[in-house]
Amino acid sequence: MRGLAAIIVIVGLIFGLTVPGTPIIYLIPAAIPFGPALPVTEEGLYLGLVSVLRIFVFSMPLVIAVMTTNNSDLIRGLMFFRLPLDYALMIVLALNFVPIVLAEFGRIADAQKARAHALIERGLIGKARGLVPIFVPLTLNAVDRADTVGKVLEIRGFARRRFRADFEPLSAGSWLLLVVAAMLLLVALASALLGRDLLAVV
């Protein structure tokens, strides 16, 4: 979630600084030499806000689905849409590796700080040099973990098994939620095609 928040802030700043328009504030004020410079425009902030909302709308359902659904159901769901089992398992394992790698990155960084290693040095080359002691063990651990998972799947006979995308029947509440979501989607599509907000009319 912190990475998503950082991406949202960066996208907003990029649009605010690069889109021409009416300046709201200057990152370098007039009181400082070479100022005023780096204006943040009203149009840029508007486009940045729209882009941030798009990222949020497209990413949050995926984050919620991954956090609230177990791996077997995710694999069955991907197989239900005719995705081969190998690719479904690869996607689910990749999603599971993301929080593990991020947590391990924090542990390795803390260990390097305890050894009095300077993670951030001056200059671009210095910053890259400071990250080498973190990314080298992180990459080696990720490769070793992937190799271990592959061996475990091979020992359990994953390649010889046959899986079917079978689901438990949906409850009445699930069907109601599905119908409401479909109705909201239809209203949103109709509003986009007609060019007016149908929810505001209702």
Pair (90, 151) in one structural domain: yes
Give yes or no for residue 48 having a pLDDT over 70: yes
Give yes or no for residue 202 having a pLDDT over 60: no
Domain that holds residue 190: 169-202
Tell me which amino acid residue 174 is: S
Pair (82, 94) in one structural domain: yes
pTM beyond 0.85 = no
- Number of domains observed in the structure of the chain: 3
Tell me which amino acid residue 146 is: A
Pair (174, 106) in one structural domain: no
Domain endpoint, select from 25, 52, 68: 68
Task: Return d(Cα 5, Cα 17) in angstroms, integer.
Answer: 18
Pair (148, 182) in one structural domain: no
Helix pair 42-68, 2-18: axis angle to 10 deg: 160
pLDDT in tens, 113-149: 787 766 655 656 666 677 778 888 888 888 888 888 8
Pair (128, 197) in one structural domain: no
Pair (79, 91) in one structural domain: yes
Domain endpoint, select from 68, 91, 117: 68
Domain endpoint, select from 68, 83, 106: 68
